[in-house]
Structure 1
Amino acid sequence: MNTVEQKVLSAQWNLERQLFWVSQSEIKIGVLVTMDLGMFAGLAASFASTKMHLPWAIVFTAGCIALLMAGLLFSAMCLMPRVKAPHDSMLFFGKVARRDADAYVAQFKTATAEQLLDDWLYQVHTNAKIAEAKHTWVRRAMFASFGGAACWLPAVWLMAEF
């Protein structure tokens, strides 16, 4: 990797990898949200069809609701758009959209290869931080959702059996 152009290509490839990790977090959240909403529906159906609610069923139901709500909140935090760039970028959509089109075109045309390389590398770093934050929220959502599932099973069983 000797030339600036080769470094730019490498930075572009690395940015694509970071964007892949960002998208992977959102795919995982889709699965968790679907699972959480399905458990809510099953819990509501079980609760509504039961005439007498045992104390343990109420405890597990409350725990399940609290954990599933936390899972949905953490999922929403993962999906929250990140629209602020830490520097003046010629590549980031938020910064590009806020500029006058003619000024943006002029700036891009006069940018040196080194300036573009720097911008690409800032984008790689920024998106790596975004991917890390999103995966932290995914991890939290998974713990809450699986904890909710652990409460859901006995809650539904207790309501179905008694």
Structure 2
Amino acid sequence: MDDAFTSRLEITYGPAELVDPVGSVGFAGGLGAEPGPPVSLDLHPILRDFAHSTDSASHQAWLTGLTWTAHLRDSMVTVTVTGSVPDGSSVGFGIPDGPAASRLAAAADRLQDFVVEHLRIGLPPVPGTARPAHALLHDGEALWADDRTPWSCLIGSYL
């Protein structure tokens, strides 16, 4: 399943002159943001968790067919996610630039809305329930968590 996500990545970051064609440097270049992985890669663990949390082949196919781009502009990361054919739906949203865990939690929260809207199911579910977990930032880590129990796991490690 991870290969399907990797093959669908469409990565762009910042102004064209700062783009590394293989995406191996931080997305911000010299713009003052935290150096690190490109923000586009932030979406990979989120969508992988969604796909791993459903047994529906049609849901998995839709999730693995998503493509996305992310751009840094004026300290905001603008993300566009496009659904797979024949769906063709898309969503765009902005998240504040900042530490990778903060971007990850914010993107997970926004992507959950897109998934619920199109699949009519909240993913990922809290284990043993039908309730969807929610994304949050806690002690510098991006987590899936449950409001009713102490259960949580790192975003990207839901199995």
TM-score by length of 2: 0.26
Larger gyration radius, structure 1 or structure 2: 1
Query: Which structure has more strand as a fraction of its residues?
Result: 2
Query: Which structure has more helix as a fraction of its residues?
Result: 1
TM-score by length of 1: 0.26
